[in-house]
């Protein structure tokens, strides 16, 4: 199968490279996402069977000041990709986010729940989702949350770095979600992509996040326990850790339709955490 992945150095793209090293991984030198036309042109040239968009503008706080750029990268570029995918008959898997919701309540968000982004990042990702749907091709929008791996910047690596020098840390305990290993997202993108090629009628929006749901402070404790660090964690409310962009309080995602349609269950993030820490220990 001829696979095109947008993204080269991100967490999911790096894991995809482990699984399908022969795929074409498009970095900025191939098609900068700030130029949607270039993204569409690359698809037209390569004519892949499966396209996975694992690239995005992910600087949540910075997006508050750079929303026009984020609109192009997260909104216009995926729409252009989806349109080009439709024209060449390729299946398109687009990774999105829990930030399209306002984070209210405590029930897990279903794929058909009404989006209401709190900030620029969520608004631009929702714009991209809408563009993918409107393209009318064979697609899956895969919303995920709290992604972590041994690569790039993420919560696990930040906690491990701070835990090396701090006896204690304060961590937010009123934001809930499912930490999701990038390695499992990569496997799922490929499985969904192959299923779409065989059954285009399965196109739609799906959720995929790790289990069990937790909050950031307990996730930090699990990280320190797994890494055998004695760092203590003090629970604090979000109000005690203000950020330019407001974070959703409830990022729980209902993944039932993903399991029902594709037979893909939520991954256990604790197993993923063990694998990530093991990877990191091998490189230090």
Single out the residue of 163, 159, 94, 150 nearest to residue 272, CA to CA.
150
DSSP code for 202: G
Burial class (CB in 10 A: 0-12, 13-18, 19+), 20: middle
**For residue 119, what are the CA distances in angstroms to 130, 172, 181, 209?**
17, 19, 24, 21
Kindly list the catalytic residues.
121
Helix (H, G, I), strand (E, B) or coil at 187: helix
93 CB contacts (<8 Å, ≥6 apart)?
50, 51, 52, 53, 139, 140, 142, 189, 192, 193, 196
Report the SS3 class of residue 26.
strand
SS (H, E, C) 247-262: CCCECCECCHHHHHHH
Is the CB of residue 244 less than 8 Å from the CB of residue 64?
Answer: yes
* Among candidate residues 113, 103, 220, the one with its CA nearest the CA of residue 168: 220
How far is the C-alpha of 166 from the C-alpha of 26, rounded, in Å? 39
Structure tokens at 275: 């694998």
Q: Of 200, 6, 22, 217, nearest to 95 (Cα)?
A: 6
CB of 217 within 8 A of CB of 235? Answer: yes
CA–CA separation, 134 and 109 (whole Å): 22
């Amino acid at each position: 199968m001829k696979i095109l992945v947008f993204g080269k150095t991100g967490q999911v793209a790096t894991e995809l490279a482990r699984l399908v090293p022969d795929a074409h991984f498009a970095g900025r030198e191939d098609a900068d996402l700030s130029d949607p036309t270039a993204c569409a042109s690359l698809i037209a040239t390569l004519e892949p069977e499966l396209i996975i968009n694992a690239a995005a503008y992910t600087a949540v706080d910075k997006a508050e000041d750079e929303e026009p750029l984020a609109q192009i990268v997260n909104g216009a570029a995926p729409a252009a990709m989806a349109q080009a995918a439709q024209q060449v008959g390729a299946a398109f898997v687009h990774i999105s986010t829990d930030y399209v919701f306002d984070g209210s309540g405590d029930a897990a968000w279903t794929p058909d729940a009404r989006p209401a982004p709190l900030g620029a990042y969520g608004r631009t990702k929702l714009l991209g989702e809408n563009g993918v749907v409107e393209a009318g091709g064979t697609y899956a929008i895969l919303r995920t949350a709290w992604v972590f791996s041994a690569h790039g910047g993420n919560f696990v690596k930040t906690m491990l770095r701070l835990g090396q020098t701090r006896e204690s840390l304060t961590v937010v305990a009123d934001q809930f979600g499912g930490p999701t290993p990038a390695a499992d997202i990569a496997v799922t993108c490929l499985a969904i992509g192959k299923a779409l090629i065989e059954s285009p009628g399965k196109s739609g929006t799906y959720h995929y996040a790790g289990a069990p749901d937790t909050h950031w402070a307990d996730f930090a404790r699990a990280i320190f326990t797994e890494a055998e660090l004695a760092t203590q964690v003090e629970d604090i409310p979000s109000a005690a850790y203000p950020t330019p962009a407001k974070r959703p309080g409830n990022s729980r995602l209902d993944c039932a339709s993903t399991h029902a349609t594709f037979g893909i269950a939520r991954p256990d993030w604790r197993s993923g955490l063990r694998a990530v820490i093991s990877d990191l220990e091998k490189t230090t």
